[in-house]
Each structure stands twice: as structure tokens, then as C-alpha cells.
């Protein structure tokens, strides 16, 4: 029995699929993110993985290939067991990987190594669980993008990315794009810090500060949904509550990715207008 | 000592960069800092026509900085920035003449700033 980490396992899967005439696409960066979104729905992931491994088993022409997995807190703990033709040995991988479904592809990632495969076509679940308080909050709350003491107020909705905010604040598009790039980069760092804090003791003072920073930055670059989730997390931390922080963190990660997709799509279209 | 026009204190970098960019475009001379304690230090050493403070900063927040500045210069215009509309009454009571609620809008907020400078 051999213990194999995911990067090695990906190589084995690639070799084994190649041996039976299938050429999976192995990529180090995901592609076409603008067309999809990230999901953290365990039921949906279960469907995707089940079909994927059935297909894999079929591709391996009946050789045993079983997957046990557990998805909690944004992390997939997976155990893959199978007889692979390249070594004729039992392969066991017990590892922690992140999983994303983006733009019709499934991405498994660990330590910078990614496996990207086309997603099986699966209809979405007919029923989703009832809304939790965070989702209800996001649906019912509203924010005001402009309000000063002179009484000027305009109500905002919740677009992923509203480019008019930066356009109004700054007519220089090059500067605006750079500011957004910097914010996205900074946001990723802050999300990593948040993840560490939430998973290691939940220092609510620091969580509050980081959520506040994401909220303020999000508002300034027109990322209202991101800002709204951050606002919810900020309020929870300020109230000394830890409930829902993990879920809010997942939502923040989703929104950050969606913001990046929306931003790149917007400026891509601007740079290459049709016709 | 030359009188600079604005002292800006903002820890959140998108707001700070936006304001810095806008003020430069208008040829407004300013100092920009990231903490409340730095703002106080700059104010003690410098001379300004207007102070623009973010409310929520590490260490001293905008209201605390404003209170200390008021002791040194009771007449200088103080402007606040916040992402919490609920904070407006409290910030007014703290002595801020204007409160900008984020996101920062170029012309609206800059016109107010220019009004005070003129």
C-alpha cells in the first residue's frame, strides 16, 4: 500500500486515463471563470464527485476505484482507493484538497497542483435547504452607496461589480483598473487571514477589523455583494457572535471570485468591443 | 512653515489611494497617513487648512483624533469618512462638519472639500 498525495495522484490518473485512450486536461490555472461561479453546496459536490468517479471507474475499464469523502468547512477530505494499471498496486490517497466548480469544469487543488476536468451534466437539485439567517440577511438588507450630511441619498442594490462607482470616483480608467487589481490581491490576503482566524480560535477583534476593511474597500470599488457579506461578518464579530462566520467566509470567497470574474469580463468587453 | 492644505488619515487603502489620486489631480497639497496616532503626530508638527479622518482606524479612531485636534485648533474644519451611515449623528456630535459615507464619490465629495479650502 502506498500513500500518495494529490499531485502524484493526479499524475497517476492522467497516466491511467491515457492508457485507455482518454486525455484529461491538466491545467495549473483554471480557465474561463467568467462563465461560471464557485459552489460550496455539499449536495451538489456529492453529485458531481459521484458521477465523476463513476466515469473514472468506467474509464479504467472496471478496475476498482472508490472514493470516500467528507466536505466540511470548505475543505474536501478525500480518500481515493483503486487498482491502477500503471503499478498494479493499491493506491490510497488521504489528503485535504480544495474543490471548485467553475465554468463547467471541476478543479481539485492541493499545494498549487490542480486537476481540471469537464463537469458531468447534472441537473441542479430540485430542492435546496431552507434559507439560513445569513442568506435571509443578504436578501433583505440594503445599503446606501452615497449619503452625506447634505442629505443626498441614493439607494444601492447588490450587483457583483458596479463599474460606475469607480468611474464616478475617478475618471482615469488605468488607475481604476490598477486599484481593482490591488484590491483583489489584497482581498485574497485578507481572506486567508480570516480563514486562519476563524479556524484557529476566532479572534473576533481581528475578524472585525478585517471584515471592516473588506467592506470599506468593496464599497469603494463597487463590489457591493462582497461588501454586504463583509458587513454581516463585521456585525457578527462586533456582537461577539461566532455563529455563521465559517459560512460567511465561504460566501466572501465566492464573492471575491465572482468579483474578479465580473471585473475581468467587464474590462475585457471594454477592451475588445464586438464588431 | 508652509501651510499644507489637507491632512488625510485613512487606513483602508482603496479609499486612501482614491483620495490621494483625486487630490493630486486638483493640485491640492496634502499629507496622507494610515493611523490615528500618525495623524496626530503630523498635525502637531504641521499646519493644515482641513483634516479628513476615517472613523475606524487602528489605535486611535477618527473621533478620538478629532477631539485632540480640537484642543489644539478649535476652528479647523474636520471631515469624517465612514462606511456606517448609522455613525453620522455620533460623528456630528464629535465635531465633524461633514461626514462622507463610503463609497467615495469623486465630484460630490471633492466639491465639499474644495468648498472648505476656498
The residue extents of the domains of chain B are: 4-117
Reported as a pLDDT band with limits 50, 70 and 90, residue A144 is very low
pTM: 0.60
Identify the weakest region by mean pLDDT among A22-31, A100-109, A227-236.
A22-31
Reported as a pLDDT band with limits 50, 70 and 90, residue A55 is low
Nearest Cα residue in chain A from B82: A216
- Give me the residues of A, 104-163, that contact B with CB < 8 A: 144-150, 152
How large a percentage of chain A has pLDDT more than 90? 16
Architecture of domain B4-117: 3-Layer(aba) Sandwich (3.40)
pLDDT tens digits along B55-73: 999 889 999 999 999 999 9
Cell of A5: 498525495
Where does chain A hold its CATH 1.20.120.160 domain(s)?
Answer: 133-271
Burial of A120 (0-12, 13-18, 19+ CB in 10 A): middle
The more confident residue out of A151 and A174 is A174
Report the greatest alpha carbon distance in chain A. 76
Strands B4-9 and A143-147: unpaired
The shortest C-alpha distance from B100 to chain A (Å) reads 5
Q: Which residue ranges in chain B fall short of pLDDT 70?
A: 1-4
Looking at residue A271, its pLDDT comes to 36
Averaged pLDDT of chain A: 61
Cross-chain Cβ contact B11/A222 below 8 Å: no
Alpha-carbon gap, residue A52 to A142, rounded angstroms: 40
CA angle B102, B107, B111 (to 5 degrees): 100
Query: What are the phi and psi torsion angles at A148 (to 5°)?
Result: -125, -175
Cross-chain Cβ contact A147/B56 below 8 Å: no
Nearest Cα residue in chain A from B98: A149
pLDDT tens digits along A89-102: 333 333 334 444 44
B14 vs A152, A171, A183: nearest CB: A183
The yes or no reply on domain A133-271 and CATH 3.30.930.10 is: no
Cβ of residue A172 closer than 8 Å to a chain B Cβ? yes
pLDDT tens digits along A68-94: 444 444 444 444 444 433 333 333 333
Looking at residue A243, its pLDDT comes to 84
Q: Does ipTM surpass 0.85 in this model?
A: yes
B14 vs A150, A152, A217: nearest CB: A217
Amino acid at each position: 500500500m502506498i500513500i500518495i498525495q494529490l499531485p502524484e495522484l493526479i499524475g497517476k490518473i492522467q497516466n491511467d486515463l491515457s492508457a485507455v485512450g482518454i486525455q484529461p486536461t491538466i491545467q495549473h490555472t483554471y480557465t474561463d471563470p467568467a462563465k461560471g461561479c464557485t459552489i460550496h453546496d455539499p449536495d451538489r459536490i456529492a453529485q458531481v464527485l459521484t458521477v465523476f468517479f463513476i466515469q473514472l471507474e468506467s474509464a479504467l475499464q472496471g478496475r476498482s476505484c472508490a472514493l470516500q469523502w467528507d466536505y466540511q468547512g470548505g475543505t474536501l477530505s478525500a480518500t481515493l482507493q483503486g487498482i491502477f494499471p500503471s503499478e498494479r498496486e493499491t493506491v490510497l490517497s488521504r489528503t485535504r484538497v480544495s474543490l471548485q466548480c467553475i465554468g463547467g469544469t471541476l478543479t481539485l487543488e492541493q499545494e498549487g497542483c490542480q486537476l481540471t476536468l469537464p463537469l458531468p451534466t447534472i441537473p441542479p437539485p430540485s430542492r435546496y435547504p431552507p434559507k439560513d439567517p445569513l442568506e435571509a440577511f443578504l436578501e433583505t438588507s440594503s445599503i446606501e452607496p452615497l449619503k452625506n450630511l447634505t442629505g443626498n441619498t441614493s439607494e444601492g442594490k447588490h450587483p457583483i461589480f458596479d463599474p460606475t462607482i469607480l468611474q464616478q470616483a475617478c475618471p482615469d480608467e488605468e488607475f481604476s483598473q490598477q486599484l481593482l487589481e490591488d484590491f483583489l490581491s489584497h482581498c485574497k490576503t485578507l481572506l486567508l487571514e480570516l480563514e486562519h482566524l476563524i479556524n484557529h480560535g476566532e479572534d473576533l477583534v481581528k475578524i472585525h477589523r478585517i471584515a471592516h476593511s473588506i467592506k470599506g474597500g468593496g464599497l469603494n470599488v463597487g463590489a457591493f455583494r462582497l461588501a454586504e457579506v463583509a458587513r454581516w461578518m463585521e456585525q457578527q464579530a462586533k456582537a461577539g457572535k461566532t455563529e455563521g462566520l465559517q459560512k460567511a467566509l465561504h460566501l466572501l470567497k465566492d464573492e471575491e471570485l465572482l468579483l474578479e470574474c465580473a471585473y475581468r469580463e467587464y474590462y475585457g468587453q471594454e477592451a475588445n468591443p464586438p464588431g | 512653515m508652509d501651510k499644507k492644505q489637507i491632512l488625510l488619515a485613512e487606513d483602508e487603502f482603496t479609499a486612501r489611494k482614491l483620495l490621494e489620486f483625486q487630490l493630486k489631480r486638483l493640485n491640492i497639497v496634502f499629507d496622507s497617513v494610515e493611523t490615528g496616532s500618525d495623524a496626530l503626530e503630523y498635525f502637531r508638527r504641521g499646519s493644515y487648512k482641513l483634516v479628513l479622518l476615517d472613523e475606524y482606524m487602528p489605535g486611535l479612531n477618527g473621533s478620538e483624533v478629532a477631539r485632540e485636534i480640537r484642543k489644539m485648533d478649535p476652528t479647523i474644519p474636520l471631515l469624517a469618512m465612514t462606511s456606517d451611515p448609522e455613525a453620522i449623528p455620533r460623528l456630528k456630535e464629535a465635531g465633524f462638519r461633514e461626514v462622507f459615507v463610503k463609497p467615495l464619490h469623486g465630484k460630490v465629495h471633492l466639491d465639499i472639500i474644495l468648498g472648505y479650502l476656498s
